[in-house]
Each structure stands twice: as structure tokens, then as C-alpha cells.
Chain A
Amino acid sequence: MDDIKYSSSQPQMPKYDPDKDYGTPKSDSATMVTLNIDGVDVTVPDGTSIMHAAQLGGVTVPKLCATDSLEPFGSCRLCLVEIEGRRGYPASCTTPVAPGLKVKTQTPKLADVRRGVMELYISDHPLDCLTCAANGDCELQDMAGAVGLREVRYGYEGENHIGQAKDESNPYFTFDPSKCIVCSRCVRACEETQGTFALTIQGRGFESKVSAGNKDFLDSECVSCGACVQACPTATLMEKTVIEAGTPEHKITTTCAYCGVGCSFDAEMKGEQVVRMTPSKEGGANHGHSCVKGRFAWGYATHADRITTPMIRKSIHDPWQKVGWDEAINYAASEIKRIQAQYGKEAVGGITSSRCTNEEVYVTQKLIRAVFGVNNVDTCARVCHSPTGYGLKQTLGESAGTQTFDSVMKSDVIFVMGANPTDGHPVFASIMKRRLREGAKLIVVDPREIDLVDNSPHVRADYHLKLRPGTNVAMISAISHVIVTEGLVQEEFVKARCEWDSYVAWRDFAAKPENSPEALEKELGVPANDVREAARLYATGGNAAIYYGLGVTEHSQGSTTVMGIANLAMATANIGREGVGVNPLRGQNNVQGSCDMGSMPHEFPGYRHVSDDATRAQFEQAWGVTLSADPGLRIPNMLDLAVEGSFKAVYCVGEDIAQSDPDTQHVTHALENMECVIVQDLFLNETAKFAHVFFPGASFLEKNGTFTNAERRISPVRKVMTPKNGMEDWEITAKFSEALGYPMHYAHASEIMDEIAALTPTFTGVSFKKLDELGSIQWPCNDEAPTGTPTMHVDEFVRGKGKFFITQYVPTTERVNQKYPLILTTGRILSQYNVGAQTRRTHNVAWHHEDLIEIHPHDAEDRGIAEGDWVGITSRAGQTVLRAKITDRVQPGVVYTTFHHPESGANVITTDNSDWATNCPEYKVTAVQVSKVNQLSDWQKQYRSFSDTQIELSGMDPQTVVS
């Protein structure tokens, strides 16, 4: 053993072990305190509980109501200790350390008290330990053992809570009140960790019980995040998968494949079977919390609809032919060669997805640039956050968010624009709500009343600027006007950090009378005074942070709004430190990463333009080929050229453009016109129904790689089971490349990351080895920042000086008129994810089994529409039919829907309007008319028939395949 020297001047902090439960949260204090516990000196940060300190010192104090994810509660009376010079038996969870304390955790008296407490608990607890689902993983059982309980003198015949009915309504966990010890851990987890307050302790004394608001769990306010299940020390709240499979025997840490929060999870396994997913306490983004999708909705990975055998066919009207991998890959390669020979090199391209790992995206863009010989590679960020990439690069110099998620805990003002964190980014929303409950102010800019506005307990927006869809830039102009004309600009910061000339031009623009909140009041539909007060709050309320989502980017002026947001942050000096910043909330898990990896047609990995000779030379040398300096085609350009007949083949990895991209009929027409559509996916998705080659993909549980979340955090994805399709996705792409005459010599995904690091200045310090050591890394990670960069633009902007841009409001051409008098806008819901291909194949459909059209009571009444009626929604692009939900969450003149089900056809009605800079579709504004109808739209009927036929052609049964 090493000879460790201790001294009082340099106290040694005992080593922290994330697998241990320290009972109470750790203290961040810099002041250290030394005390003596059971004869051993322990030095810990001030504010630490005695319980936590004891555990750090290697002594475990018995406990039931305490767990280190929750504030101490002091109710179970098991953790009592004796402190020299103090009277009585204080609870170690609620008693903080103090210098020089002498604590005893084990004495005959304490043992006696603890046995007495346990005796009472056990007298009202079923003794079915051997057949209980928590057997071996039950803290009550552990404590009975720890205190040496040998008999229960009271007997078991008295009045008790045993034999009560279980609540099994939640599809993922059961609630068995018979096993409840009323420790309140679930109630506190719901409040403190999740912030939903769905659970309470009802009644007093013997009558006390955990209640989900007198409803069953499914119908209650519960959002099924599972924090209560994780916190429960007994089998009261228990995962159904554990009830079925028993306790797991090993675990592997990996990263969630859903939203851009990128939660870290421990996949708890029995052999190759996942028993449960538990959010890792050490997860940099989630700190042990999760949402219903990440924790529970992973069953799709083994769903019967998964296709695991490669398939090919000549025409989309032919039955699919199941073939071996070699035949499928060789066929695809021969088609690409044939098409390029016949129609020219530029007739082919590829699309990657934010659902792919960094390594998969990297090899796909490499295949397209180096082997296809074109830059026609794009990614689904095209239709979500491409304006973020453009706008932040222009103004700040880097296409990424500026902060960590934890930064919000230092914000005084939180400005949420066009994002719905409680549904889209639930785990981050929980952190944000915690900060709001602590008193941070909230400004919400959204046409719809999202839950943060007034539907989250103890959280309420100070200002909800309920603007008309499509007027974001006008709103930013109005806020800028107030900041500039009321002298709220931090000129010292601007002088030191930004291009002064660009600031002056912006200032003069913002100060124009036509940009005042009063002048824009009618256009915005928001009272001018509210805009003024919100602007003052943002500029003067302390640390102010902007969080935005697709409600900002998916507009014809999406890029303009992003630049306007960056202008605001620079003008008010709200950038470059914790608590502030510009924070794009990314929709999917790897939006940031897929963009970082060079999947945009004009950029190599690391956001370097294809026309930059030095960069291109570097890649040419590494890849041993000549590369094109011409920006490639974007997805909508590919589709337009396909409709015109010159674009003939696409390799589509993990992306479903036939469902997710706007103007569906245009997309499907383009796909029908192509001669070779290659789809790599888990399921026969909508795009695959138009495909000629199907490469079955692997789920995130079946492969190695990395995802990069919204805070630039690169986190490891680890293989926990053998791929059902036989290969990891990067291997498929590499084999495809080899068949085209360009072998890619990687033995493992880590070698792909090594190549990325060698070629990308912001990634030079990244490796799988370092990820194993650190858990995750926020790029840039290089010699200057060997462990990564949590906050960006600290001393200077990545581009040097920050640059202001004039952001003139240009109303969209998608305007309402007599024929289309309403504006349709779209969004998402907590339980479903994106196009729903994953979540529709889980029990999450219990919460959302169809997309509804939200309509204001006035608009509904005008049209004779009642709740639940079939409503036809018609735009310039098409028509679809959904059921009505009448609600004043939307304002009069605005209707709203989600897009998680293909037959909803939400994108049949969206148009081909797009952002001026990036072609990101204008999903958020579509002029429509709605009316009561009796039947599905023609498109929906055609869709159903086409889809059924395609499912049959694949050899599956349309009756059993999830739609």
C-alpha cells in the first residue's frame, strides 16, 4: 500500500465512490471541516451531513428515508447517532458536521433504538422476501439484517396495511401500497428531482399513504420519469421488467438514444437482456435523473417489427427479397456505380441522421465525399437546427451552444423562446424548474401556453409573450429596441469583446422607431408594455440565459432569429461565463454531433468549409483521394433534382425523410423518381417503403460509439448486446465502401474516433480511453483544454471579436387569407419522440396514441367543431384529418399539432417554404383552414393502402406491424 501522509494543514478528502449511497447530497463548500467518527478523523466540506461524512470515512450508518439524491428528511429514526457533549440521539442525516465533533454511530443504546424501529416497520410488512421482486435489492431487508432484528414481539395480527390492491396502471412500474413504509422518498423525488409534485402523503398517522392525487398512476399528473421507482427502498414502486426478469447481474454505462439532453444510463443486464435502465449518478448531463423515454422506452430495440435481414428489390412495386449481407451490399454498390456511370457523379448522395453515432456519421460522410466523390451529404439537422449552426457561427464563431446544462443553476433570468423543455428536454427541464423554484425569473416567448408558463407546480412565467407564429424576428427587434433606447447595453463589454462597427450598425438599426414594441404591437399580438418589461428584465435581472428550440429555427427567418438572440446576449454581456449564454436545445440525441462530424454538404468535420484548400488537402492526404471543393446538395435540393430527374440515388442512414420532411407528397414523389434508394434502419420506416435496398441497422444497445449532446458533451455509447442484424452500423457503411473499391480499415469504433481526433482541431484530445476515464468530454478538447470546455467564449469569442448582425424582420410569404385563415404550428409531446418509430413501439403509446389538432374554443365554435370531432386541415400543400382537442392553450387564429404518427400526415400540410440561409423548413407556420369532416383525407386513405401493400411486400403482416 502507498504510504499516505495526513496532516491537518492539508486535509485529504476521502475518495468518492458513485456506487455508494451517501444518504444526503454532497456539499460544494470550499471550507473543510474535520471531525471524528467512530474513532477516525474525517475531513469533509462544511455543510456535509454526519451521515455523508461517515460514509466518506468508510462507516455506513443505517438509514431508510435518506438517499443522496434527495435532501435529508429525518423521519425514519434509523440513522440516529451519539455526539459527545450533545444530548439525545440526533439524526445523522439532518445534522451537519462541525469542527471537532466526536460521533459514535454504533453503541448498545443506538442498536436497541434501531432494532425497535425496525421491529415496528416489519410488524406491518409482508414477509414474502423470498418471492418479492426486491429480494436482494431491498433496503428494508438490508436494514433488518444490519440492526440484527431477530423477532417481532408485536406479532403480525394487529391492524396493518398488508393485502392492499396493487396499482398496475402504469405500463412500466407497479405500486404496491402493502410494501410501503411511508418514507416519502418517492414523494420527495417527484418534487425535488423531477419537479412534478404528482405524489403526496395523504392522511396522518396510521392512515398516511402515498397517493398520486387520488387517481391511479396512469391517470394522475405522474410523468413516469421513474425517479420515485429509483428512490423507493422497498418493492413498493418496482419496474415491471424487474418483476418479470429478476435482479440484474451486471451493468454497463451508456448514453440514451433519445433527445439532445444525452442522459447517461447504466444498462442493468442479465446476460444480454436489459433488465432496466438506471440513470447514472455520475452522468454529466443528467446527474441520476431520467424521463419516461430514456428510462423505460427501450423495448423497441427488441420489437418484433425489427428487420434483421438485408433485403433488395428492383422496383418498389416488387416484393422484397431477403438476401445475405454480401449480396445486399454488392447490389447497392453496383447500383451506385451504374447510376454514376449513366447519369454522372452528382446524381447520387446520402443523408445521415442525428440518431447515428458520431462514428457512423463520420464514416458515412467519408463514404460520400471520398468514394461517391461528391459532397452531396446532408443530415436531418437540415430540418431542425441548421439555422443554429449558421447563426452562431456568424455571430460568435462556433456552431454550438455556449454552456453546460448545470449553468442554469446560476441563472437569475431564464428566457425560453420557441422551446418546450418539459416535453422536449424533460431532464434538463427538471434542472431548470429547480432553479425557477429557487426564485429565478422566467420569460417565455411562445405562441402557445407551454407547461412552464403556468402548468408546472411552483413555477410560473413572469412574462409569457404569446406572439403570433412567424413574428420571432419582430419580437427580437422589439426587445433589442428597448435595450438600446433605454440605455441597457453593456457598452464596456461590447467595446472589449465585439466588433464595434457591427455593434453601431445594429444599435442604429434597433433604435429605429419602427422597431419599437409599440410599432410592432399589432404584428406581434403582444402588449408593448409586456415586451418592454421582459426586455428590461433580461437586460438587468442578473445572469440571463436564453434557451431556444425549433420554434426559433424552423421559420423562413430562423437564422435571423438565431443571430438576433446572439446579438441580445452580446449587447447585455450575457455570454462567456456560467449562468448566461445562448443555448440551443437540440431535438435529437446527436444533432450536435452529426453536425460536428461534417454531415453538412458544405463542411468537413469541425465546421471547415469544403472550399478551404488547407483543410481539403488535409483530408485528401488522410483519405488518399481527391475531394470536391464544391458545396454539395442539401436534402431539399436533392429532392427537387430527383423530381426533375437528375438525382437518382440516395443512401439514407437512420433518417426517415418521408415522414419527417415537409411537403410529404413532394418528398415521396422525389423518392419514387429515384432508381436506387438505400435505407439503413431498424424498421421498415416510411422512407423504406420507397426503397430498393434495405440494410438492417443496429440499435444503440448493440453498438459502440459516441453521441454529442446540446452542451457539446461527447458521451460513450456502449454495446450491451449482440447486434440482432449481425453488424454495427459503421461496419455496414465500411463494407459498402469496400464494395465500391475503397476499403475502410477500422477494427473498432474507437479507431474511427482516433481518425476524427487526428483531423479535427476541436477534437484532438478526444479518445475512447479518455472517455472511459472522464465519463464524458465537452469539446473543444485539445492541448489548450485537455479535459474539455464546459463554457465557451470566456475570454474571447471563437471568431475573435463577436459580430453583431442587423436582423430586419421580413414577414413570411406563408400568410393567412380568407381561404386559409388560421396558422398551424407544430410541436412535440413528452411520451413520444420525433417521428415515433421508436416510441410508438413501446408502451409510451399509453399516453399518446394519436396526434390531435389543438384548436381554440372560439375557432372551434365558429366552425361547429366539438371535442373529439374529425377535423380536416387544409393548406396550400395538402389535406389531412385529425381529431380535435379544444383548448385555450392556443390563441384564437392558431391551431397546433404533434407529428409522431405517420398516418397523421402533419407534413402533408406543411409547405416547401424554408429558412433563407439554410433551407431549414418553415414547419412552424402554415396557413390552413380547418373544418368538420366525416372521413379521412384522400392522402390518408392512399397512405394506408400504400403502406399496407409495402408491409406485405416485405413479408410482414400489416395487421401486426405498428403504424
Chain B
Amino acid sequence: MEVEKLIKMANQIGDFFEANPDVEEAKREIASHLKKFWNSIMIKTLVAHVQQQQGQGLHPKVIAAIQQHLHL
């Protein structure tokens, strides 16, 4: 799926959890949200973007969440 759209959606998720003062919890929540609501095709595309493009354009906390909590 077009990665631009996924980046936009993932960044919106990142923006919501950004406000959580507990950084580690925020990252867990981001990863958990993706796993709960995104189809695996979408997650795979986003993970590949993090692995291959250093997550260009992605919210830093989303990148960290994917790196720490989404091992596909």
C-alpha cells in the first residue's frame, strides 16, 4: 500500500501518543495500536519503510515504536 498514506496515518497516531509523558509507554501504545487496528499488509509496508528508508518522514516515536516493538 502506498507508503505516503501510511506515513501520514502513522504520524497521526504518533501525534496522539506524543502527549504521554511516559515515553516508553507511548512507544508501546503506538506499536499496540498498529497491531490492533492495521492489517498486516499495511504494517509490513511501514516496517519495510523503517528498515529500508530509515523511516524517512515518520514521527521519531513511531520509528522507535516499530524498531522496539514490531518484529515482523
Contacts and interface: CB of A to CB of B under 8 A. Distances in A.
Contacts of B39: 375-376, 601, 630-633, 637
A556 interface: yes
In order of increasing CB-CB distance, the 9 nearest A-B pairs are A916-B12, A808-B19, A806-B19, A810-B15, A630-B40, A633-B39, A916-B16, A916-B13, A631-B39
Contact of B16 (A376, A505, A560, A632): A560
Interface of B: 1-2, 5, 9, 12-13, 15-16, 18-22, 33, 35-42
Given A346-B41, A560-B16, A806-B20, A609 B1 contact: no
Interface string A623-666: 00000001111000100110010000000000000000000000
A468 B40 CA distance: 37
9 contacts: A601-B39, A633-B39, A637-B39, A640-B1, A641-B1, A806-B19, A807-B19, A808-B18, A916-B15
A375 B37 CA distance: 12
A810 B1 contact: no
Chain B residues touching A, majority SS: helix
A509 B16 contact: no
A808 to B, nearest CB: 4
B72 to A, nearest CB: 11
A917 B2 contact: no
Interface in A797-825: 806-808, 810
A92 interface: no
Contacts of B18: 808
A826 to B, nearest CB: 21
Contacts, number: 61
Contacts of B5: 640, 912
A602 B36 contact: yes
A674 B21 CA distance: 45
A874 interface: no
A627 to B, nearest CB: 15
Contacts of B41: 346, 633, 641
A49 interface: no
A631 B15 contact: no
B20 A917 contact: no
A602 B32 CA distance: 13
Interface in A654-701: none
Interface residues of A, number: 31
A68 to B, nearest CB: 50
Contacts of B37: 602, 631, 917-918
Contacts of B35: 611
A810 B16 contact: yes
Contact of A609 (B19, B22, B36): B36
Nearest to A629: B40
Contacts of B2: 640, 644
Contacts of A808: 15-16, 18-19
A644 B41 CA distance: 13
A601 B13 CA distance: 19
B51 to A, nearest CB: 20
B14 to A, nearest CB: 9
A635 B37 CA distance: 13
Interface in A589-626: 601-602, 609, 611
Contacts of B36: 602, 609, 611, 631
B9 A919 contact: yes
A505 B21 contact: yes
Contact of B9 (A631, A632, A633, A916): A916
Contacts of A916: 9, 12-13, 15-16
Contact of B12 (A505, A556, A632, A633): A556
Nearest to A919: B9
Contacts of B1: 637, 640-641, 644
A915 to B, nearest CB: 8
Nearest to A508: B21
Nearest to A505: B21
A887 B9 CA distance: 36
A559 B16 CA distance: 10
B23 to A, nearest CB: 13
Nearest to B15: A810
B44 to A, nearest CB: 11
B9 A509 contact: no
Interface in A548-594: 556-557, 559-560
A720 B62 CA distance: 54
A632 B38 CA distance: 7
